[in-house]
């Protein structure tokens, strides 16, 4: 099954509400956490499995250290430019939705980095002492977008596969 293609930039603007919604949702949830919790506080949401823990991350994704906040901000900008380039070059609706999720999430974290030189994180998932790195709504949408892009290239996009000979 081949997907219909989109060709014009004007048609691609149809997807801008997706990344604007992701950006809005990310920033409003971070603002809510900052206004309702003290730094370092933790509140159980679903038992001890899902909780909100207010932290700030000056490092790269999932707290990985790549040279401090300036390097992390520069890497975020480079990644954002690359994803926007992919968005402009792509013509598949499925991948444009996926890339819109990534762009919205990248804009959310980039906004934090430019304003505060760190990212506000609060979603804390795990069991007892085994916890995943604390993350935010932007990180969630970037991850979902990446998973969808992988699904697209493995199962939907046939242009990169060799054509079978008869």
Distances (CA, A) of 28 to 45, 104, 113, 138: 18, 13, 16, 11
Q: What is the mean pLDDT of residues 14-36?
A: 96
Beta strands in 12-102 (DSSP E): 42-46, 50-57
Per-residue pLDDT for 116 more than 80?
yes
Q: What is the mean pLDDT of residues 77-84?
A: 92
pLDDT tens digits for range 27-45 = 999 999 999 999 999 999 9
Global confidence as pTM: 0.85
Q: Which residues are catalytic?
A: 121, 139
The domains of the chain are located at: 9-156
Confidence (pLDDT) at 47: 92
**pLDDT confidence of 13, banded at 50, 70, 90?**
confident
């Amino acid at each position: 099954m081949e997907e219909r293609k989109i060709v014009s930039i004007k048609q691609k603007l149809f997807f801008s509400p997706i990344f604007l919604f992701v950006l809005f949702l990310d920033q409003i949830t971070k603002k809510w956490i900052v206004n309702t919790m003290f730094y370092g506080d933790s509140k159980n949401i679903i038992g001890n499995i899902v909780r909100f823990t207010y932290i700030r991350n000056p490092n790269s994704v999932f707290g990985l250290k790549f040279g401090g906040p300036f390097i992390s901000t520069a890497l975020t900008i480079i990644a954002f430019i690359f994803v926007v380039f992919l968005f402009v070059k792509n013509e598949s609706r499925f991948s444009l939705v996926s890339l819109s999720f990534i762009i919205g999430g990248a804009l959310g974290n980039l906004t934090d980095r430019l304003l505060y030189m760190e990212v506000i994180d609060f979603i804390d998932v795990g069991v007892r002492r085994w916890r995943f790195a604390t993350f935010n709504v932007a990180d969630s949408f970037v991850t979902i977008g990446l998973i969808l892009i992988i699904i697209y290239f493995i199962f939907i996009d046939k242009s990169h596969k060799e054509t079978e000979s008869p």
